[in-house]
Structure 1
Amino acid sequence: MRVAMKVTEDLPGGFLWGSAKAGIKASGNADLAACLCEGLAQGAAMFTSNQVVAAPVIVGRRHLMATGGRIGMVLVNAGNANCATGQAGIEACEKTCIAAAESFGCIFDEIFPSSTGIIGVPFPADKVVATLPELKASLGNTTGHAEGFARAIMTTDTRMKVAQASFAAGGTEVRIFGAAKGAGMIHPRLGAPVAPHATMLVYLFTDIEADSAQLRELLPSAVDRSFNSISIDGDTSTNDTVLLLASGASGVRLDERTEENFAAALASVCKTLAYGIVDDGEGVTHVVTLHITGARSEYEARQIAKSIAHSPLCKTAWSSADPNWGRLMAAAGYSGVEFDPAQVTVKIGEEPVYEGGMRSAAFDEARAHAVMQRRDYVISIDMGQGQAECMFVTCDLTEEYVRINADYST
């Protein structure tokens, strides 16, 4: 299996990507992206579990249910989330879908819409509609076209986030390409596919032949241990979306012979993109992987990880490479998970810091500090209760994060 954090020529067949400038972003950069499915693709999506959801999430769910997962085109805008915009926002989203269907030769409910950006600002549907001819003219299947798509969906991101993987099946290569955006308002809690309930958007394209039901079965597992296992700031967006599309262009069928390899490739792409989101987080200077082991269940392991990941005291300590293990234990202690502190051991990198209910006799503050000065390191916490574990990727909290978000709407 090959995985890359850049766009290579090994893109999945059956898709055309494009981008254009609609004038939504204040920066003037490209802010409208599209992927046209040559023929029709089968899709599955997972959406935010936030009770406040954006218009494109509402419309996208409706379209998937209406078509049974059939998708002809993905239409994404950046710079305006089209959230908390009332019925007018839903109608504006529908207007862009109808116009895109007419322009690109699709049925309107085969259009899958997404938006990202500021919440509560009226959606400029007319700008999107007026830019559709330019967007259509930009379509292509080269690395440059795919990169244009990945860049156009960015907001506070400093770089595009892409990943690819492939595997051989009967002499034919099956390919997956993923593009994501997200740098703040990141603590995805994605619900079941097509479930009725600053942003993370993820688009996964593959040329395997599969139906929507098969994709709905495989997507949750890949998402759960990738996008649902990261956090930058603990805020769950109103627009979070992960969409998986299968064009069938490879001619290789998703079945019992190919499922294991496909699931592994999909998981690899998702994990690469999820890490990339945290690594490019707003103001991030340290990426911290919390490895919780010895838990009674994976659920409890993740609860402990989330409690630590969302602690301002832990996150600010990480920003200055302060090996304050007391903050780790305190956050674990209020996670809601019962455990015996005397059974817990904590390491920063390979440096022991806590065991037997107190500071480890082998604790060396200078060495632990040196580990925490790295861009990327692991904090290992063994709960001493069972066999379950989880990996949860998070980051520090810096003055730069505060500056970006203090001024976001102005």
Structure 2
Amino acid sequence: MSRAYLKKATPATDTASASSADVPTIVRTVIDDIRRDGDEAVRRYSSKFDKWEPPSFKLSKEDIDRILATVPDQTIADIKEVQANVRKFAEAQRASLHDFEVETSPGVFLGQRNNPVQSVGAYVPGGRYPLLASAHMTVVTAKVAGVPHVVGCTPPIRGEIPAATVAALHLAGADEIFILGGVQAVAAMAVGTEAMRKVDFLAGPGNAFVAEAKRQLFGEVGIDLFAGPTEVLIVADDQADPFVVATDLLSQAEHGPDSPAVLITTSEEVGRKTMEYCDALLQTLSTADIARVSWGNLGEVVLAKDINDAYRIADEYAFEHVQILTENPREALDKMTNYGALFLGAMTCVSYGDKCIGTNHVLPTRGASRYTGGLWVGKYLRTVTYQEVRNPEESGKLGRLCGRAARAELFEGHARSGDLRAHDHLGDAHDWIKR
């Protein structure tokens, strides 16, 4: 279906396609080497990629105490406040999940339990930005789910230990903290080494190499999401403030040069003024070197016929973050289904979700919101079932049903398990039963 664009994405020619094609091979080599050589390979790759080769990658209690002492009191207080918000919401999510047992027939009991994963590896990126919030989102949520052991890994930044990130991991409840980054960190957590115990589940964002490592390791361990570049989409009507729209679009465009930012609006005036404000704001934004590229290449402004058309187009994009700047923002809850997280009204913004409000910021990208939500308490839980039959007559009846159902599928062994119960509890005769 045709759309009216005031600004259309014009992705730059991918000059890095050859190197991008090498990502899976590079990642596979690192994983294989760590699987074979353990800590020796971890140390080799940390030195190669991060110029980081300390006596021990794991921080001791004394190390952590010393590092925390260097973090400003206000930063510590802010970390605690944000984590309290994340914890409150995660606890509400956990409370919504109930174990239960139901008696489906006399003496036939079926039940469900939500058992936590036993060990989690939480990866907190460094690189351009030290993502403290990722420690809150991955570790606090895991601990609320009841995960007994959480390993936190974060890379050095320019050869230094990221003190605030360490504080965030520690205060979130990480049981072990390693200053280790990239594929070598993800692989070490997933396969286990002499110094690092193998985990059951990997969580947390990262660059293309980290994302590919999680993809290759999925199945051997669980993962939260296949995450790509950050995305933001704003739905705005003629009541929206174009300055707010522009500010919020650029707030996400600064994540990286590959982060799309899209406005869908019913007002051509709002759309054009938003573009003017984006150009003006980029003159003073300290991260303009990144935001200018993403907005220039991947930014879009789409003109919708009406608000219902705007919601329909937004659902087609199925973006990670969707912000609603309209006269009646809550109607989006009924009109839209495809989004990682929804931000309603001008007093709310995506940055709140990223940094402090309490909902999780590890969210689906690249259209994945069509089939999954983001990281939440339930990702760290395994919903398992159990069965118990206490009534002899009911066991016999199930045995007869099992026998017929299994033989319809040509599973004779299954059928005989049912036959045996029908014989023992209802007296059915079967030639094969000869005790």
Return the structure number with greater strand share: 1
Q: Same fold, TM exceeding 0.5?
A: no
TM-score, normalization: structure 1? 0.25
Q: Max radius of gyration: which structure? A: 2
